[in-house]
Amino acid sequence: MSERPSYAKQMVGSLLAAVLLVLIVVALVTAKIGPGPDATEIRERERAREERLEERQEMREERREDG
Amino acid sequence: MEDLIDQISRGNVSQVKTVLASAIVVLALYQVFLMAVVYGKLKLPFLDGRAASFTHRAVGDTIVLLALIVGFMCIGYFEVGDGIEHARDGESGRAAVHVGAAFLLFAVLALKIVVVRWWHSMGRFLPLLGLSVLVLFLIVWATSAGDYLLGG
């Protein structure tokens, strides 16, 4: 039967395996999500976000008035 | 806070969270494999329990850090109540399960860390706590990143 690698090698190997797993998952998930938004999309999102913030603010004010 | 998170993720908050959450889940599964080696359930010619235990602790610290970042992004950007109320039609149930499981996950994770570091007499519950953390991570992932990736 072959001897086990040294403790340091086992540690480094098992940590590298974790890093490799993360890299594979990041690559797979990023490929599934696709490329990031272009400038137009970012502007549209910004507009939608501002609308959402205003809506939230209105909801908070309504809650405050109700409460 | 919203602006900061938006800037850091360059407007891709959900996507960044999805990538980080998926990395956490795969690391959590790797943790189970490592503990199987530590407890001797899995005997490997190239890895013994001591090295597996060290890596389990190092990977666990990384998972906690990543989970805190994702949790911070989640609460800072979407907020708890608004996240549920603003969920798409018919999705508020999923969002509520996600929020509930996430809070429970952080509670169990905190308890596990306390048991590992200080409350050694409760050490016999560590396998149960570890499996609970894994199950909660899977639920939290499935009700957010998994749902997003699978186009739910």
Q: For chain A, what is the domain count?
A: 2
In the DSSP assignment, the letter for residue A1 is: -
Which domain does A42 fall in, by range? 36-67
A41 and A28 together in one domain: no
Q: For chain B, what is the domain count?
A: 1
Q: Which residues of A are less than 8 Å from B48 in CB distance?
A: 4, 7, 10
Structure token pair of residue A28: 């797979």
Query: At residue A1, does pLDDT exceed 70?
Result: no
SS3 B152: coil
In this prediction, the residues of chain B whose per-residue pLDDT falls under 50 are: none
CA A11/CA A7 separation, integer angstroms? 6
A13 and A25 together in one domain: yes
Query: Most B CBs within 10 Å: which of A4, A12, A14, A42, as the mutation test of the B interface?
Result: A14
A67 and A48 together in one domain: yes
Query: Most A CBs within 10 Å: which of B44, B46, B66, as the mutation test of the A interface?
Result: B46
Prediction pTM value:
0.79
Confidence (pLDDT) at A39: 61
Do the interacting molecules here have an ipTM over 0.90? no
Which domain does B145 fall in, by range? 2-149
Which residues, including other chains, have CB under 8 Å from residue B138's CB and lie 6 or more apart? B25, B28
A45 and A27 together in one domain: no
Q: Which residues on adjacent β-strands are paired with residue B47? A: B44
Total residues belonging to chain B: 152
Confidence (pLDDT) at B1: 75
Confidence (pLDDT) at B83: 60
A1 and A20 together in one domain: yes
Mean of pLDDT over chain B: 87
Distances, alpha carbon B103 to alpha carbons B5, B75, B130, in Å: 20, 11, 16
